[in-house]
Structure 1
Amino acid sequence: MSNPASLNAAAYDALKARIVRGDLRPGAPLSERALCDELAVSRTPLREALKRLANEGLVEISETRRARVARVSVDEVVNLLAVMAVLEGLSGEQACEKASEADLDELARLQNEMESAYARTDHAAYFALNQQIHLSILRMADNGPLAEYFHNLNARLRHVRERLTPTPERWRQAVDEHAEMLALLRRRDGKRLRTLMEAHLRSKTDAYVAAMLNEGLVSMSRAA
């Protein structure tokens, strides 16, 4: 028989994955009965999973205990991206201090693969490698609280990041910026890398908002 902790974790992981992938859209109701049947768990582990996701900002639970996927406004998206930009910049600065040469060689390999995906206009592969690069830099920073905050915020935006199709000009610029990130890491220039990584994400704000509005994933006003 599975123990309660493993059931809670399984329900949490499965439900979070659906939200992050965009299978469950913002505002979608979360029926306890339906989810219990789909996830093969009882109400207790499901409710624990919902509480945990609510603490992370992915789920909203009303006073009557009805749950739904959290909605987000344009203002909140802009604020989330502003905070993530600061976290990304800090991760780059700290990675400059702590990354090994082996770490940087692995990052160079990912960069080469990402450039190959760009050359063949394989957006899905490019996005996956892009995420690996940023998460690798985060890992090199070796800062637990920073990683925790970053992962929580990233989960709230990943479903739209996967849908975001950059213009040809912006895509080329992003590839070049990643190459510069690697060069700055090799030179251990933390201050310049921090500035670049913050600007790299902030430059995408308008594109994020436009994509989310187009998909109906955000409202113009602050979510109620």
Structure 2
Amino acid sequence: MQKSNHEEATEGVAGHAAPRSLPRLARPRLHDTVVEHLRQFIVEGVFAPGTKLNERELCETLGISRTPLREALKVLAAEGLIDLLPNRGASISRMSEAEVRESFELMSGLEAFSGELACERITAAELAQIKALHFAMLACRARNDLPGYYSRNQEIHDRINEAARNGALRQTYQSINRRLQALRFRSNQQSGKWDEAVQDHEEMIQALEARDGKRLAAVLKRHLLEKREAVLPLVSGDGTGTKNLVKSTDA
């Protein structure tokens, strides 16, 4: 039976045959991988808001022990994606309608400011990378590949924020955006809304190429507020879409 990276790394330590540095390298990789998998489950709707997580089934699915799982859950709790309650385990956080409205309103301002600064500071290489992501995103849309589309979509927004080169802005942006990713993903599940988002991205690329900060800021602000209006009707229906990695109680 093939051994996991975690088992291979720890086996060397037990037999005193592997360099001492291996466990310290393997553990962060395992930790990051678990966090990323769980975050993706939340974003893509495998877990509906309010759902209680079953640790045993998650461990079996991911092929890990409970220790790295619980460490990952603490990270996601710090990001506001899950709630950890004493003696009650972990459940997916649920945002109220007011929180959704206010968070998208704030994100629209953060993205607009990112766009203004990016137009002043972006390099030709960075712009080329964003354009390549844009074309890859369009290819995903043509295949109706929503996860692939969303991944590239979010990377475009993230790279615009990075190109702004403002550490305080980036920290705030990442914190707020983590809580909105699942809703941003769901906003594209209607074909009409998806096509509108693609058109917005076309305008973003044009504004970046022209280094037109005011135009890009306006497009980004409108884009985020349109997302808000698309997802608000979905907030009351957040009990749907739960798949088979959750149960009402943890075994």
How far apart in 2 are the matches of 1:103 and 1:25? 35
2:43 to 6, 20, 34: 20
Cα distance change, pair 73–105 in 1 and its aligned pair in 2 (3 A): same
Q: Return the match for 1:11 from 25, 30, 34.
A: 34
CA distance in structure 1 between the aligned counterparts of 2:196 and 2:37, rounded to whole angstroms = 35
From 92, 100, 103, the counterpart of 2:115: 92
Name 2:245's counterpart in structure 1.
none
| Offset from partner CA, 1:54-91 (integer Å, 9 cap, x none) | 11101111133521111221111112211211221121
CA distance in 2, matches of 1:141, 1:54: 28
User: Letter of the aligned partner of 1:77 in structure 2?
Assistant: V
TM-score, structure 1 as length reference: 0.77
Q: Deviations over 1:95-131 (max 9, x none)?
A: 112111233234344445555666x473625544433
| Cα displacement string for residues 115-153 of structure 1 (whole angstroms, at most 9, x for unaligned residues) | 5666x4736255444333322312322334433433343
**Could you tell me whether the CA contact under 8 Å between 1:20 and 1:155 is conserved in 2?**
no
- Of 185, 197, 201 in structure 2, the residue corresponding to residue 178 of structure 1 is 201
Partner Cα distance (2:231, 2:71) in 1: 31
How far 1:203 sits from its partner (Å)?
A: 2.2
Q: Is the 8 A contact 2:50 2:239 kept in 1?
A: no
Question: Counterpart in 2 of 1:191?
Answer: 214
Return 5+ residue gaps in structure 1 as ranges.
218-224
**Residue 97 (structure 2) aligns with:** 74
Task: Tell me: CA distance 1:35–1:129, structure 2 relative to 1, closer, same or farther (3 Å).
Answer: closer
Q: What's the % identity of the aligned pairs?
A: 37
Structure 2 unaligned residues grouped into runs of 5+: 1-9, 11-22, 241-251
Is the CA contact (8 Å cut-off) linking 2:31 and 2:71 kept in structure 1? Answer: yes
Report if the CA contact (8 A) 1:92-1:138 is conserved. yes
1:61 aligned counterpart, secondary structure: strand
Cα deviations across residues 128-184 of structure 1 (Å, max 9, x unaligned)? 44333322312322334433433343333333333333464x555544433332232
Cα distance in 2 for partners of 1:31, 1:182 equals 43
* Contact 2:118–2:163 under 8 Å retained in 1: yes
Query: Normalising by structure 2, what TM-score?
Result: 0.70
Cα pair distance change 1:110/1:214, threshold 3 Å: same
- Kindly indicate whether residue 229 of structure 2 is the aligned counterpart of residue 206 of structure 1: yes
Matched residue type, 2:165 = D
Residue correspondences, number: 215
> For residues 129 and 159 of structure 1, what CA distance do their matches in structure 2 show?
15
Q: Using the alignment, how far apart are the partners of 2:155 and 2:90 within structure 1?
A: 32
Of structures 1 and 2, the larger Rg is shown by: 2
2-side partners of 1:102 and 1:10: how far apart?
29
Aligned-pair Cα RMSD in Å? 3.0
Amino acid in structure 1 at the alignment position of 2:183: V
- 1:149 alignment partner AA: T
SS in 2 for 1:68: strand
| Equivalent residue, structure 2, for 1:165 | 189
Match of 1:54 in 2: 77
> Matched residues in 1 for 2:43 and 2:139: separation?
26
Larger deviation: 130-139 or 33-42? 33-42
Q: Distance in 2 between matches of 1:115 and 1:6?
A: 31
Equivalent residue, structure 2, for 1:32:
55
Pairing 1:130–2:139 present = no
